Amino acid sequence: MGIKKYRPTTPSLRFTELLTFEELTTDKPEKSLLAPSRSTGGRNKTGRMTIRHVGGGHKQRYRIIDFKRDKFGVPGKVATIEYDPMRTSFIALVNYPDGEKRYILAPNGLKVGQTILSGEGAAPEVGNTLPLAQIPLGAIIHNIELHPGKGGSIVRSAGTSAQLLAKEDRYAIVKLPSSETRKILMTCTATIGTVSNADHNLQSYGKAGRKRWLGRRPRNRPVAMNPVDHPMGGGEGRASGGHPRSRNNIKAKGYKTRTPKNKSSQFIVSRRSK
């Protein structure tokens, strides 16, 4: 996947850098795996705006993704690599011999026509899903389960990956993208490889309109607000606004928000680096 730069024939194209999408093989999704998705505009059931900077954008339909990968022992053939408007990574359509079709997160290097397998006994190759107990040490993995049978819940965004460092007793020690090292039950499954579309964060949209197409409305700087609207607002002239903090007066840098009595703390071997 590459990044395309445009000639500055218009002001908006001067700084535009977008993906080439050369990995994609089709632009038509599988209709049986689509679900409706209504836009909320950041409003709750009473119509009040509870989330700012959300609204508008192109109409989208949700792609039903198989995060569990519970088709154990049945080889599937990759039919297409597709774009998903609701996630940063690409997705792959997999056809199974019994006629069933499923979408999975496409790992980097997955090709059309390739055969993938999940379950015990699967080879530790790109796209295959198997328990952490059977994955070799040092392997690069993604779509990791935290609870057996629940489906992959972490390491799913574009370009991310985790590394299996060690195995102790019932737990595997995994280094996450945040540099946090964590214990995960070895009966949990993970998929081999790195999530596709690693160049996603290198894009420069070039104009505000392209962000509006994605459903993101303008964001106002806190220091430009009035004191009644934000703790960092007010002041004469261009005041700094004080220590960065949220609208609810919670400090934004260095303030720990994790619950001290969180039960999952016992599984964290080392915290993420600052």
User: Cα separation of 130 and 274, whole Å?
Assistant: 32
Tell me how far apart the alpha carbons of residues 216 and 233 are, in angstroms, rounded to a whole number: 23
Confidence at residue 78, expressed as pLDDT on a 0 to 100 scale: 98
Distances (CA, A) of 243 to 8, 41, 81, 222, 251: 39, 30, 45, 11, 7
DSSP, residue by residue, 36-68: E----TTB-TTS-B-STTB------EEE-B-SS
Q: From the CA atom positions of the chain, what is the Rg in Å? A: 22
Residue owning tokens 């019994």: 98
pLDDT in tens, 197-218: 999 999 999 999 999 999 999 9
CB 182 within 8 A of CB 268: yes
pLDDT value of residue 1:
65
Ordered per-residue pLDDT tens for the chain, 274 residues: 689 999 999 999 999 999 999 999 999 999 999 999 999 999 999 999 999 999 999 999 999 999 999 999 999 999 999 999 999 999 999 999 999 999 999 999 999 999 999 999 999 999 999 999 999 999 999 999 999 999 999 999 999 999 999 999 999 999 999 999 999 999 999 999 999 999 999 999 999 999 999 999 999 999 999 999 999 999 999 999 899 999 999 999 989 888 989 999 999 999 987 6
Q: Which domains does the chain have, with CATH numbers?
A: 22-200 (2.40.50.140)
- Here the tokens at position 22 are 């050369």
pLDDT on residue 82: 97
Specify the 3-state DSSP secondary structure of 12.
helix
Identity at 142, one-letter amino acid code: H
Query: How far, in Å, CA of 25 to CA of 8, rounded?
Result: 29
Task: Please report, for residues 116, 129, 196, 223, the alpha-carbon distance to residue 96 in angstroms, rounded to integers and kept in the order given.
Answer: 10, 15, 22, 55
For residues 161, 109, 202 and 24, what is the CA-based torsion angle, rounded to 10 degrees? Answer: -130
Q: Are the beta carbons of 35 and 61 closer than 8 angstroms?
A: yes
High-pLDDT (> 90) share of the chain, %? 93
Question: pTM for this one?
Answer: 0.92
Alpha-carbon span 230 to 52, nearest angstrom: 13
Predicted confidence (pLDDT) per residue in 227-238, tens digit: 999 999 999 999
Return the closest-CA partner of residue 15 out of 202, 219, 212: 202
Residue whose token pair is 């024939």? 9
- H-helix or E-strand spanning residue 165: strand 162-168
